Amino acid sequence: MSEPWHILVVDDDAVYARTLAQALARRGHSVRCAGEAGEALALLRQTPADAVILDLRLATASGLALIEPIRALCPQARILLLTGYASIATAVEAIKLGATHYLPKPATVDDILTALGRTQGDAGTPVAERPLSVDRLEWEHLQRVLAQHGGNLSATARALKMHRRTLQRKLAKRPVRD
């Protein structure tokens, strides 16, 4: 990414989006911000972007639901899904839907630009030394079942034979770090 890019940051956390946009602008990139899905798509219709940094959890929509419309408007754009709620299930779905890369928050501007600059996978990526913890495996399972039910909390709770409020509490927690 040696030449400046036109980047769209889609995040409902206005402070985070503005801070990230300023950091990217200091690196010479042209950056716009959108706080929700409709605004993001409208901005892309006006001026296509070279890259889109997309939050997974937006106030009114899932970032996953935006990947295909973004890809339709900007077929060549690199789409980076950035989330504080990273899981294997959402990472797999994001890539299947057309995202170029997926990063958990917190991520540095260097991490973000490196991810956007990569065009191929890296077979040299190290394999974890130890398996995931039981808590992390539970988190991953909940995310996978939630994705299978299209984000429907009630259907997910029924499938897991779990009370809906219990599921909500478990999902509201940050994922367990390994």
Report, as an integer, the average pLDDT of 14-19: 90
Q: Which long-range contacts (CB under 8 A, 24 or more apart) does 128-132 make?
A: 128/178, 130/178, 132/178
- How much is the pLDDT for 28? 93
Residue 178 has pLDDT above 80, yes or no: no
pLDDT band at 177, cuts 50/70/90?
low
What is the spatial distance between Cα 178 and Cα 165, in angstroms, rounded to a whole number? Answer: 26
CATH node for 6-117 = 3.40.50.2300
Answer yes or no: are the C-beta atoms of 82 and 107 closer than 8 Å: yes
Length of the chain counted residue by residue: 178
- All structural domains of the chain with their residue ranges: 6-117, 134-172
- How much is the pLDDT for 60? 81
* Domain 134-172, classified CATH 3.30.540.10, yes or no: no
Pair type for strands 101-104 and 51-55: unpaired
Answer yes or no: are the C-beta atoms of 65 and 40 closer than 8 Å: no
Amino acid letter, residue 8: L
For residues 90 and 130, the model is more confident at 90
Report, as an integer, the average pLDDT of 60-83: 91
Burial code of 43-73, b = ≥16 C-beta within 10 A, e = fewer?
A: bbeeebbbbbbbbbebeebbbbebbeebbeb
- How much is the pLDDT for 75? 94
Express each pLDDT in 145-169 by its tens digit. 887 787 888 999 999 999 999 988 8
Express each pLDDT in 106-132 by its tens digit. 788 988 998 888 876 665 666 566 766
- How much is the pLDDT for 170? 84
